[in-house]
Amino acid sequence: MIPVSVETVLNPAEALTVDMLEKAAGPLKVVLADDVESRVRRGHGFVSECLTDGRPVYGATTGFGPLVTFGGRDSQEAQCDNALQHLTAGQGPELPPEVVRATMLMRTWSLARGLSGISPTALEMLGAVLETDFTPVVPSLGSVGASGDLVPLAYVAQSLRGVGEAWLGGERLPAATALARIGLRPLVFTGRDALSMVNGTSVTSAAGGLTVAILRRSFESAIVLSALLTDVLGAGSDFLGPSLLRAFGHPETAEVGERLRDHLAGSVASGDRPLQEPYSVRCVPQLLGAARSALDWAGGVIERDLNGVSDNPLFFPDENLTAHGGNFFGQPTAFASDMLSIIATQMGNLAERQLDLLVDPVRSSGLPPMLSPDPGVTHAVQGVQLVTTAVVASMRRACVPASIQSIPTNLHNQDVVPFGTQAALTALEQARCLRVLHGSLAVGLRQAAYLRQDRPKARRCAVLLDALADVVPPIVTDRPLDADVRAAADVLDRFVTRQDPKTADN
C-alpha cells in the first residue's frame, strides 16, 4: 500500500471537522475505535434480524424511489447490484479528487455511527482505500441533493467493487486494476450495504466543508491584504476607531477593526490622502465583519451536517426501531452553501476594487498607471486586472441561489428538492476564484511597494510583503504573471495559517 501520511481515530463521540476533510486529500488512516466496531456490528445484525423477520425495509425488500411499491430482487447481493447499476448515470465534469476523498471520509464517519446497517466489511473497505491515494472517478452532475447524493455516491460504491475508474498515483485506471495494485479485492455488497453507501448527502456536505475551510483562510487573507493596502497607500486609520466601530452595533465589525489596528501598528499616515478614503478602504471593517458573521453561521450549519446521519431508513436496535424518514434532505447545507457563495463574491468585489484603487494614479497618491515602472513600454499588472474583472463577473453570475431551484422528479416521489450538491460545488468554485483575486491583489501590492521604494511602516505588513517578495519578483519588464498570482495566493494561505490573529508574526 501507499505509505500513510496522517492517522485519525474515528469515534462517533468526536466531531468531524473541515480540517479533517482537507487532510483526506492525501492518504489517511482511519482507526475504528472498539465502540465504533461494536455499534456497527450491532446495527448490521439488527438489519439482518429485520430481514429474517420479514419486516419491510426500504431498499432491502423493496424497489427504490417511487418503485417502493414493488418488490426488489431475490438475493441481497442482487439487490445491491440493483441499487447501484441504475444510478450509474452521471454526467458532466468530474468532481475534483479532493472532494471525492473528503466525501469518502465523511461517508465513513456517518456509517461508523452504526445507524445505517452497513456491514463491518464494507466500512473497513472504505477505510482501506482512504489509507492510499485511491480516488474514484465521479461525474459532478446527477444529484438533486435529496434522497442523498445518489448518483455520485454510486460511482464511489461501484469503484469499491471494481466497477468504473479510479485515480491512483496520478494514473487513471480501471477501478479493478487500481484495487489490485493496492492489494485489495473488489468488495461484494450484501444486505443494505449498497444503499447505505449512496443514501446520504456526503458529497454536498464534503464540498461545503471544504469551502468553509478555504473561506476561513480567505477571510484572514482579506484582513492582512487590507492592512497592507492601507499602509502602502499611506492612509490614516481613523476609520478603525474603537468607539466608531462599537457604535455600529455589530461585534464582528469591531473585532475586524481591532485586527486591522493590530496589523497596522507602526504605520504612519502620509498626510496626502483625502479626509475620507474610498469604501474599499474605509468600509473594510463593516464588510468583513458581516462576512465573518455569515461565515460563522454557514460553517456551523455545515459542521453539524458533517456530524449527522443522512441515511434512510435508520436503525435503532435499542428501540427495536426501523425509522423511515427524510434525513437525506440536504436543505441546511444548501442554504449555507448559497450564503458561502455570496460571502465569497462580496469579498471578491472588495479585492477587485482594492486592486483597481492601486492601479489608478488619480486615487493611489502618485503610483503610476497599472503600477508600471515605464507606462506604455511596460504594462505591469494590466493583464492581471483584466482577469480580476472577468473573475468577479463570473462569481456574480454564479450567485443565483441553487437552494430554491426545486424541480419535481422521480415520479414526484421527490416533489421538492434542495439542490444542495450544486449549491455546495458552486460555493467551492467561488472560494477558489476568491483565492485568485487575493493572489492578484497581493501581486499588485508587492509591485506598489516596489515602486514606492519603501517598506511598509507596520511590522506585520512588512513581514507579509517580505513573504510575497520572496516568490514574486518586481515587474521591471512585462512577463507572464499567471503563476505569480497562484504563488501569491499560496503565500497568503501559509501566512494566515501560521499566525495567530492576536499575536505577532514570527
* Residues known to be catalytic: 58
Residue 247: strand, helix, or coil: helix
Report the run of H or E that residue 93 belongs to, with start and end. Answer: strand 91-94
In whole angstroms, what separates CA 81 from the centre of its chain? Answer: 31
User: Residue 11 burial by CB count (10 A; 0-12/13-18/19+): exposed, middle or buried?
Assistant: middle
Percent helix, percent strand, percent coil in the chain, to nearest 5: 55, 10, 35
What is the rounded distance in angstroms from the CA atom of residue 24 to the CA atom of residue 104?
Answer: 8
Locate all alpha helices (DSSP H) within 272-371, ordered by sequence.
279-282, 284-306, 331-359
Which string of DSSP letters, residue by residue, matches 302-317?
Answer: HHHHHTS---SSEEEG
Question: What grid cell was written down for 149?
Answer: 447524493
Contacts of the segment 408-416: beta carbons below 8 A, 24+ positions apart: 409/144, 410/65, 410/66, 410/147, 411/65, 411/66, 412/66, 413/65, 413/66, 413/68, 414/65, 414/144, 414/146, 414/147, 416/146
| Closest among 24, 99, 109, 496 to 337, alpha carbons compared | 99
Report the run of H or E that residue 26 belongs to, with start and end. Answer: none
What is the rounded distance in angstroms from the CA atom of residue 69 to the CA atom of residue 62?
Answer: 7
207 contacts 99 by C-beta, under 8 angstroms: yes
136 contacts 34 by C-beta, under 8 angstroms: no
* C-alpha distance across the termini of the chain, in Å: 38
Residue type, 330: G
- The phi, psi pair for 505, rounded to 5°, reads -80, 145
Buried b (16+ CB within 10 A) or exposed e, 178-191: bbebbebebbebbb
Residues 6+ apart with CB under 8 A from 28: 4, 5, 6, 7, 8, 101, 105, 130, 131
